[in-house]
Amino acid sequence: MAEGHGAAAAEAGVRVEAESSSQSQPGVASSRGAMSQEDCISGIRSALNHPTARFLREQMEKSGCQVWPRLIRAATCNSAGGYASQEGIKVCCNHMTLQDEINQVIIHELIHAYDDCVTKNMNWKIVLTMLALRFEPTTLVVIVTTSVNCCVVS
């Protein structure tokens, strides 16, 4: 890891932590050629310096969203990663083989974190009513997001 990667992430107030073995899921398979936990943590720190990840974090802060110190965890799990409200972002190191994969997971999950924070106080009845008035009912698409996966329901 380049020294600058960890320093920039630390300056931004985000710490990357590895889940303890008691938090990891037993019996979860690793992808062939998956990187080590240490390399994954280094990759996460590097991903936080990606221009898109920096932009998303800045927008979260501008919107009043707290980017708490333990927002991101390196873990062993069943998918590439995930976001859960009040828990943060999980990067599943046992599925990461390249830096670009980590970058994409961090960016994807930061979008969920931003959406979660910004929409907490939104009146969804008003939003859905406005959408229904603007679009034909057959073209209205509702995006359902969970901490496990996200899917489009029409």
Residues with catalytic annotation? 109
SS3 letters across the chain: CCHHHHHHHHHCCCCEEECCCCCCCCCCCCCCCCCCHHHHHHHHHHHCCCHHHHHHHHHHHHCCCCCCCCCEEEECCCCCEEEECCCEEEEEHHHCCCHHHHHHHHHHHHHHHHHHHHCCCCCHHHHHHHHHHHCCHHHCCEEEECCCCEEEEC
**Which residues are CB-contacts of 134 (< 8 A; sequence separation ≥ 6)?**
none
